[in-house]
Structure 1
Amino acid sequence: MSEPETMSLRFPDPEQRRAIEAAATEAGVSMQEYILSAAYERATAVEMKFLEAFKDSMARSGDAFEAEPSASDPSPEQRAAEQQARVALGQQGQGRAA
């Protein structure tokens, strides 16, 4: 098994490299580890922002469905008819099983 290759750390801006190098040194980690940790933190922050927006969207959708009855929310009459149909089907099934 071979050793993993190191990440290429080329920076077109020497000041940017020095700033990252100094931050990594201050944190007590390699530049590679510092950069990967920063990328992970950024990705996690984006994910959390997305999930918060998704939860807000779900709440708004739920509020909209509660505010306006639709075809997915049957009327009391329709519920009673469905209940009667279930009872009738249950009685028919009992008759055949006997």
Structure 2
Amino acid sequence: MSWIDIGHIDDVPLRGARLVKTRLGCIAIFRTAEAELFAASNACPHKGGPLSEGIVHGQSVTCPLHNWVFDLNTGEAQGADEGRITTYPVRLEGGRILLDARAVTERSAA
């Protein structure tokens, strides 16, 4: 994989998120613990709510508009809700956040 350095971990608040603009649209970087990050699409599939403004808890995020909860590991909605957000490979190296370049620059044919 090819990685893009998108900033320092301290740029993302603990149990919070920051946005990264890509060719695919905005991707939210979620910090769920001191050294734990997830990357996912910013728009809730229900009504397009900005997930980066949602509540981060455990390894999940709750949409600020209608309280849909998404697992940041899989992107799947939890509970009775049906839906999914796209997740992206992200890693932490020396305090720097690295996002998979290929995943955020190429659209899937599916």
Q: TM-score surpassing 0.5?
A: no
TM-score range, shorter chain: under 0.3
- Taking structure 1 as the reference length, the TM-score comes to 0.19
Q: Which has the higher strand share?
A: 2
- Higher helix proportion: 1
RCO higher in 1 or 2 (8 Å CA, sep ≥ 6)? 2
